[in-house]
Amino acid sequence: MSSLMIQTDSFQKNNYSNHKTVFEKEHSITLILREKLKNSLYNERYIALVQSIDNKNYSGRILLNIPKAQLNPFQIGTILNIKGQLQRNKKPDNPNQFDYGNYLNSKQIYAQLYTRRATIKISTEIKKDIWFYVAKLNSRITHNLEQSHFDKTTLAVASALILGQRQDIDPDIIQDYQYAGAVHILSVSGLHVGFIFLLIKFLLSPIPNTRKGSFIKLTATLTNLFLFALIAGLSPSIVRSVVMFSFVAIGLHLRRSVNIYHTLLVSILLILLFQAYFLFDVGFQLSYLAVFFIVWFQPILASYWEPKNKIAKYGWDIITVSFAAQIGTLPLSLYYFHQFPGLFFITNLAVIPLVSIIMFVGVVVMSFAAIGFTEFWLTKPLEWSILLLNKIINTIASFEQFIIKEIPFNFLLLTASYLLILSIIIWLKKPHFNKLLIVLCAILTLQSVFLWNKWQIQHQEEWIVFHQKKKTLIVQRNGNEAIIYSNDNAVAKNKTLNSYLLGNFAQLKKQELLNHTAYFKGNKILILDSVGIFPKNIKADIVLLTKSPKINLERMLLSLKPKLVIADGSNYKSVLKLWKASCNKQKIPFHATAEKGFFQLN
């Protein structure tokens, strides 16, 4: 807790987030580029460190968005001076939408900066720290492999597997890995570090196991693991894995058996002391859960069958490890991602042997690529093996009937699910009547949570105006049944709407066209579209403005005297300020979804 408080940037007096004035207008901002992120549709994106604002010293991390150009991306360590206005992270525009602002806050990025290339001044000086040299090494490896005519799509996967760089992977490939239950392969973690550890151990095997030789092995192993972690970007999962295997290496050096539970606990403690914010990283949580359940649950599964055939034993071990990891991470995966890949055990059985080969070959290829040696006979085996991997993943992902999507799951269900899983495993380890009672209580708890959720939802009613650019979308929900009001026929496939239905355990009952009036809990709602015609004698409680109606708003307000005016995302931004001023003049609340997000009436 102390470490977390010390490492929280917003507690620092000179952090930009503590100064309101930096958000109120454009400033001259000097910053250093720290990390290249995946590009958005229109922008290159970087994490940048603020150095000064208007020549005053400030600190903090921001998300920098620069319009795409044909030029090469900026180097990490480049110092830029930009004229622009910082924007605080926004809350989601619509209910149950992914809270990207909160996600950035958990990374201690409290603002974004959108800029134009014309306002950027590039310093001749470059900050040459460890991140600069790591990024330069990664760029050199990628550039040399591209020059050797290495397939770009395949190279993006290779960079993810070995260098931890996922920025350039095609979204369709990521989707295939998700559907096949193999997305963890694209994030450098314990699986990859384990292969690296075995490779290092194999290469050092000629060194004798004397006291001096053992020390040389330990030093070389720890150094190479640390260098690999640096090259792979020091992500939470890679740090966790490197720390764990470092303890294994130390245990081997001391000729002591390593207690894996102690290793897990000590690695968690050390990592969180130095990087406390890893605790909020989804990858960190899933990674530790997977390892814990593999260590704890996999031996129980493996004990049910002990094949004598080596190939059968290898396959059985992969299945039991995969099943243990999947059971351990299932509730958390459902909570975050709301889907379950039914063929995950087939995927792991098919690809883990291939991934081990790719890791061994990939490390060799990348090492030689760093010094410019990229001969055909060296690089092609890696390229072909990754093409084969992608083909296997794509084939498994094509069986979409085995992919269970859009599973509603909340925090109460998450907690009750883990209570049930833990109680079952405790009972399986040493069956006992009292432990069986705990399992039955856990089942009753899970059932009670389901019933409580259902009861809560059935007693909910709400009327919501969503924020949709150039569109009008209204949802009226009664319990778990939702009615859509929209003139757009494609709105039923809208991701925003699906997130809302998922978050509220609701189903789409029907879609209706927009009317000019609506009624909800005694409120009469007048909906004005581009025509802007309304009856003079109507007394509306709420007025909803859509598609920029050509009306004199002040005259309408005097005539109708509504309690509230709403403007959705289908209106031109230029008229919103005028409408807001008119409402303020009449002392009538004004809610623009472009500014405040969705409007909810319940």
In the predicted model, is pLDDT for residue 52 greater than 90?
yes
pLDDT in tens, 304-363: 888 888 888 888 888 888 889 899 999 999 999 898 888 887 888 888 888 888 888 888
Beta sheet of 599-601, edge-to-edge order: 507-512, 481-485, 474-478, 461-465, 599-601
Q: What is the mean pLDDT of residues 474-500?
A: 88
The reply to whether 2-128 and 460-602 are identical in fold is no
In the predicted model, is pLDDT for residue 385 greater than 90?
yes
In the predicted model, is pLDDT for residue 70 greater than 70?
no
The residue extents of the domains of the chain are: 2-128, 136-404, 412-449, 460-602
What's the token pair of residue 184? 């963890």
* Nearest C-alpha neighbor of 228 from the set 318, 162, 312: 162
pLDDT band for 85, please (50, 70, 90 cuts). very high
DSSP string, 546-571: -S-----HHHHHHHH--SEEEE-TTS
pLDDT of residue 441: 97
In the predicted model, is pLDDT for residue 522 greater than 80?
yes
Cβ atoms of 518 and 601 within 8 Å: the answer is no
Q: Which fold has domain 460-602?
A: Metallo-beta-lactamase; Chain A (3.60.15)
pLDDT of residue 342: 83
Q: If you average pLDDT over every residue of the chain, what do you get?
A: 88
pTM equals 0.86
Cβ atoms of 19 and 69 within 8 Å: the answer is no
* Nearest C-alpha neighbor of 24 from the set 16, 32, 13: 16
Cβ atoms of 484 and 508 within 8 Å: the answer is yes
pLDDT of residue 233: 67
* In the block, residue with structure tokens 């959720």: 453
Residues 6+ apart with CB under 8 A from 352: 191, 318
Cβ atoms of 47 and 109 within 8 Å: the answer is yes
Architecture of domain 2-128: Beta Barrel (2.40)
Q: Count Cβ atoms below 10 Å from residue 22 Cβ, excluding itself.
A: 20
Position 255, amino acid: R
Residues 6+ apart with CB under 8 A from 276: 3, 4, 7
Q: Please work out, in degrees rounded to the nearest 5, the angle formed at the alpha carbon of residue 287 by the alpha carbons of 283 and 289.
A: 120
Whole-number Å distance between alpha carbons of 184 and 344: 11
Q: Region of 601 please: left (phi>0), alpha (psi -120 to 50) or beta.
A: beta
pLDDT in tens, 234-259: 766 777 778 878 887 887 777 776 67
Highest mean pLDDT among 81-85, 201-205, 368-372, 485-489: 81-85
